[in-house]
């Protein structure tokens, strides 16, 4: 009986084992997004939907006019709290999280001691202007002019793009370089400690990696490093030329790792279990990856605090003479993808400024107000609260409203404000078109300002290109770094799978209105010329 029972048992069980399908492991990715105004954490499913979320407002510290800082320890606490809360909101346990990705605003940095871990100062944000006199002095210096001239000469004979880029090299306050020099010159004993190899440098992502791993990891990725102004995207290394020029010790810099790959795991004591950190990316290139701009000529435009236009230039960096910045978009395995970036800083502040004047109460009212008039009635607005960036590149420009008449109404002024955002985009788009000489594809947009239908439709009309607004427009940066983290851990197999997750909310096809707008745009360019070189040089 025992033999029969055993045989029957085996016969009964065998087919069930053969037919049983493996239960797929549930995979969840958590993204941490540190922006200019808030920290956000999202838990993503394998379908790309958000299962749980949390956010914290970032407190900006202004010790003096022109100085903007953030408390590093408070920021770290916000990140830890957001991660815990988003996991709790998702109904998952920490053990269910497959991996984490971190994306941050770029060029906001701090320095801390290698021996003690003690911070030397708060984060200096990318908006901080304490080094503006350093910027002016260096850009006017014979040293930099000699470097520019020598590089121009070398480019003439070698035709190497890195020399073309160096021939137009200028320092900018938004980059790290001269704010870092200011600190080395003004913080007691900092330069000596740095020269002794005892100082560690890091932007937000590096500081978070250091804290989350309890000091085991001092690293960044190629996209964040290449935006600092201290990294050579042509040589793919921290720039010895720039560091030697301005006397920055190379020992302070973090290791640079692939954007999608293993950075380290969070310490067990923080969340109760280790979470692998498998992606780090700068905010703009993370958004570009979320938009699935994987092919040469693909364009992403983010319109939030500023307008950032990024074009995929493939396996080669673009050397610009008009102010486009060559960046490494991402590195996955051995593959490096480059982007060229242009920006206008004052998109969000233009809308906030209009709201503060009482021109409209809610941003949702703008479309109705703008379309209540057929045009701006000859009113033109130039937004230059922080100067004019590429392709104008004038730090001394002023904002202005010009062309007002007794017939001018609030609607005309608001229409001029919104038209200026689209016109500024057109300047950036045409710069990309002329400089890169790439066959540009459709434009994919994200960011809060792109919820304005008037602006996005006008962008399509005046560039004669389709503009594709994503469903995930408010969270594209988070989605992009989640994609990068998930690719490193098998949550998603390849880029083709990601393309199915990114969804279009609306495609704005161009209307034949350029003949109407051509004269308006050229008048706006006249107003732009009048805004230039308004402020005198700092004494």
Each residue's pLDDT tens digit, 372-424: 999 999 999 999 988 888 898 887 899 999 999 999 999 999 999 999 999 99
Q: How far apart are CA 521 and CA 230, in angstroms?
A: 37
302 Cβ contact partners less than 8 Å away, ≥ 6 residues apart: 284, 287, 308, 310, 445, 446, 447, 476, 477
Give yes or no for residue 529 having a pLDDT over 80. Answer: yes
Share of the chain above pLDDT 70, in %: 95
Q: How far apart are CA 218 and CA 414, in angstroms?
A: 47
Q: Are strands 97-104 and 276-282 parallel, antiparallel or unpaired?
A: parallel
238 or 435, which is more confident: 238
> What pLDDT is stored for residue 132 in this prediction?
86
- Residue 491 near residue 99, CB atoms below 8 Å: yes
Could you tell me the CA-to-CA distances from 323 to 287, 347, 391 in Å, in that order? Answer: 21, 18, 6
> Beta-carbon neighbour count of residue 534 at 10 Å?
14
Give yes or no for residue 18 having a pLDDT over 70. Answer: no
Q: What is the mean pLDDT of residues 126-133?
A: 88
- Global confidence as pTM: 0.90
pLDDT mean across residues, the chain: 91
Q: What is the mean pLDDT of residues 265-280?
A: 98
Q: What is the 3-state secondary structure (H, E, C) of 23-48?
A: CCCCCEEEEEEECCCEEEEEEECCCC
HSE-up of 176 (CA within 13 Å, CB side)?
27
């Amino acid at each position: 009986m025992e033999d029969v029972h055993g045989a029957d048992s085996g016969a009964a069980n065998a087919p069930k084992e053969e037919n049983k399908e493996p239960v797929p492991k549930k995979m969840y990715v958590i993204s941490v997004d540190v922006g200019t105004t808030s920290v956000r954490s999202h838990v993503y499913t394998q379908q790309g939907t958000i299962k749980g979320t949390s956010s914290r407002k970032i407190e900006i510290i202004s010790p003096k006019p022109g100085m903007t800082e953030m408390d590093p320890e408070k920021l770290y606490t916000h990140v830890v709290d957001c991660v815990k809360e988003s996991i709790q909101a998702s109904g998952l346990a920490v053990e269910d999280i497959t991996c984490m990705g971190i994306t941050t605003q770029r060029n906001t940095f701090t320095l801390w001691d290698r021996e003690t871990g003690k911070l030397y100062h708060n984060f200096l944000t990318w908006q901080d202007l304490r080094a503006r006199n350093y910027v002016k002095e260096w850009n006017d210096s014979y040293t930099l002019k000699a470097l520019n001239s020598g590089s121009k000469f070398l480019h003439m004979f070698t035709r190497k793009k890195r020399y073309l880029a160096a021939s137009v090299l200028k320092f900018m306050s938004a980059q790290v370089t001269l704010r870092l020099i200011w600190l080395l010159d003004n913080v007691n004993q900092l330069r000596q400690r740095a020269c002794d190899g005892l100082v560690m440098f890091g932007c937000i992502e590096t500081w978070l990696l250091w804290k989350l791993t309890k000091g085991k990891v001092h690293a960044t990725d190629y996209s964040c490093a290449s935006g600092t102004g201290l990294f050579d995207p042509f040589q793919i290394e921290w720039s010895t030329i720039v560091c030697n020029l301005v006397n920055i010790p190379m020992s302070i810099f973090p290791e640079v790792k692939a954007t999608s790959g293993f950075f380290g795991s969070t310490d067990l004591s923080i969340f109760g279990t280790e979470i692998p950190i498998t992606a780090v990316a700068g905010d703009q290139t993370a958004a570009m990856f979320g938009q699935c701009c994987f092919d040469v000529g693909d364009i992403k435009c983010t319109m939030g605090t500023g307008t950032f236009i990024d074009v995929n230039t493939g396996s080669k960096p673009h050397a610009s003479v008009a102010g486009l910045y060559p960046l490494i978009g991402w590195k996955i395995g051995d593959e490096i993808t480059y982007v060229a970036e242009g920006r206008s800083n004052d998109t969000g502040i233009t809308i906030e400024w209009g709201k503060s004047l009482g021109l409209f109460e809610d941003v949702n009212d703008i479309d109705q107000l703008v379309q209540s008039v057929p045009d701006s009635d000859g009113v033109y607005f130039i937004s230059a609260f922080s100067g004019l960036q590429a392709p104008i590149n004038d730090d001394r420009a002023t904002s202005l409203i010009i062309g007002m008449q007794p017939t001018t109404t609030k609607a005309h002024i608001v229409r001029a404000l919104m038209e200026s955002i689209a016109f500024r985009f057109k300047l950036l788009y045409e710069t990309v078109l002329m400089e890169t000489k790439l066959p540009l594809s459709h434009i994919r947009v994200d960011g809060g300002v792109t919820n304005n239908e008037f602006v996005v439709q006008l962008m399509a009309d005046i560039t004669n290109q389709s503009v594709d607004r994503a469903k995930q427009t408010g969270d594209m940066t988070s989605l992009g770094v989640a994609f990068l983290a998930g690719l490193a851990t098998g949550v998603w197999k390849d880029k083709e799978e990601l393309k199915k997750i990114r969804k279009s909310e609306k495609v704005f096809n161009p209307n034949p209105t350029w003949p109407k707008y051509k004269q308006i745009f050229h008048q706006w360019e006249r107003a732009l010329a009048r805004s230039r070189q308004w402020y005198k040089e700092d004494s």
